[in-house]
Each structure stands twice: as C-alpha cells, then as structure tokens.
Amino acid sequence: MDLQLLLDALTSKALREGVVVTITLTIVSFVAGLVLALGLALMRGSRFRAVRAAAWTYIWVFRAVPTLVQLLFVWNALPQLIPALRGPGFTAFIAAAIALALNEAAYAAEIIRGGLLSIDDGQRLAARALGMRPGSVFRKVVAPQLVRVIIPPTANDFITMLKLTSLASVISLQEVMAHAQAQVSITFRFAEWYTAAAIYYLVLVSIFMAAQAWFERRYVWTSQGADRPRRSILGGMGLR
C-alpha cells in the first residue's frame, strides 16, 4: 500500500464532500425514522385491532425486505407509481432518506415498544393518581424512563444506519462510498481508497460512541450522577 496515496485519499476533496453527505443522510433518516417509530410503537399498543394490525404489517414488511431492495424501489419504482415524483426535485438524497427512514422506523419501533413494556405500570398509575393528564404523564414520567432503556439498542441502530448509507451509492448518491468507488475506477488503487473510506467510517463511529457515553451519563439517576468524575474516553466507550 502506498501511504502517500492513502494520505492523499484521506484528505481528498472527494471524500470530504462525501462524508458531509453521509453524515447528513444518517442524521436526517435516523431522526425521521425515530419519529415514525414512536408512532408505530404507540399504534402497536392501541386498543383498536385494525391500528395494531397496520403497525404490525408495516414492521413485518420493512424488516423482511432487504434495505437495498427498498432503496432501489423508492428511487426507481416509486416515480413510476407516483407521477409527482418524476420531476428533478426528487433527488437521490431524498430517495435515500425516505427509504432509510422507513426502514429504520420498523426496527426502532420494536426497540421503543420493548422500552414501553419495560416501564412499570405503577409509574403511569402514580402519575395519573396525581392528576396528570395523558400527555403530561408521557412527557414527564414515561419518556425519560423510556429514553434511558432505549439508548444502547438505539445507538446500535444509529451505527447500522451510518453504514447502511453506503448502499445509497448504488442510486448514485455521492456519499463516501460513491466517491471512493469513482476514484477506484480511475486509479485502480483499491487498497488505498477503500482503506480511506473505512477510516472515515471508523472515525465517525468513534465520535458517535463518545457522544453515546456522554448521553448515557446524563441518565444515571443517583445524586452523584451529575458531578461524578469523568471517565476517560476509552472507559466511556466501554473499552476499559
């Protein structure tokens, strides 16, 4: 491997532009997916059978069909079915964001549903006994406890999502992988360009893991939790 070439690849404008697209796509589709997932999780607990069935069916379909198929479907098939999507406004980025968000929603819905089930019924009961209204019960009592239990599995999903964005290279979205691929087809330096792309993902995931550790510390419910001595980054990442 040519180290100079690797360094050039790492600092290349192509990969720097690609990483911005990768990060943006990850965050947009992840957040949209989470919002959808909360709706789906609540639908799963509805007292109406039809609502529960609709959510179940959604989760079933979007977990069963490969993400790549979903991505190609949204990008290529959807405009055939919905004429409004045929214009130039329907970009590869939008298609990828839609596909990945729909996909993420199915997985995150199950995480949130599990989280909701893990909260003791006595919590809602006590909040209702105080006279709190349903919205207030959810925001002030259920949500904080829900967030704490879903952080680890949701963080896992986030990392998966970050890597899944590389699939969008097949619909010509210019994220990290697409740029690396383009450079490879010009230079034939596979090792250098793929390694450079891998390093970008490694760095992104590491930054995110540090953020996760920080976030988890905020959900330590002890009187010492807030001003506990900070652990080292490695410790915080669970790599002690």
Write down the H helix ranges in the chain.
3-10, 13-44, 49-64, 67-72, 78-81, 92-118, 121-129, 134-137, 143-164, 176-187, 190-217, 233-236
Closest distance to other proteins from the beta carbon of 216 (Å)? 14
Write down the H helix ranges in 65-142.
67-72, 78-81, 92-118, 121-129, 134-137
Q: Which of 11, 91, 136, 206 binds other proteins (CB under 8 A)?
A: 136
Q: Report helix, strand or coil for 120.
A: coil
**Which residue number, 116 or 141, has a Cβ lying nearer to other proteins?**
141
Q: Is the dihedral of CA 136, 137, 141, 144 positive or negative?
A: negative
Centre a 10 Å sphere on the Cβ of residue 41 and count the other Cβ atoms it contains. Answer: 24
- Is 238 among the residues that bind other proteins (CB under 8 A)? no
- Is 134 among the residues that bind other proteins (CB under 8 A)? yes
- Is 129 among the residues that bind other proteins (CB under 8 A)? yes
- Is 234 among the residues that bind other proteins (CB under 8 A)? no
CA distances in angstroms from 79 to 62, 87, 97, 165, 167, listed in the order given: 19, 9, 15, 21, 19
- Is 222 among the residues that bind other proteins (CB under 8 A)? yes
End-to-end CA distance of the chain: 32
- Is 223 among the residues that bind other proteins (CB under 8 A)? yes
Q: Which of 83, 87, 131, 229 binds other proteins (CB under 8 A)?
A: 131
**Which residue number, 191 or 220, has a Cβ lying nearer to other proteins?**
220
Q: Which of 11, 63, 86, 144 binds other proteins (CB under 8 A)?
A: 144
Q: Which of 11, 46, 118, 123 binds other proteins (CB under 8 A)?
A: 123
Of 45-53, 77-85, 133-141, 230-238, the window that binds other proteins (rule: CB under 8 A) is 133-141
- Is 227 among the residues that bind other proteins (CB under 8 A)? no
Residues that bind other proteins (CB under 8 A): 120, 122-123, 125-134, 136, 140-141, 144-145, 148, 219, 221-223, 225
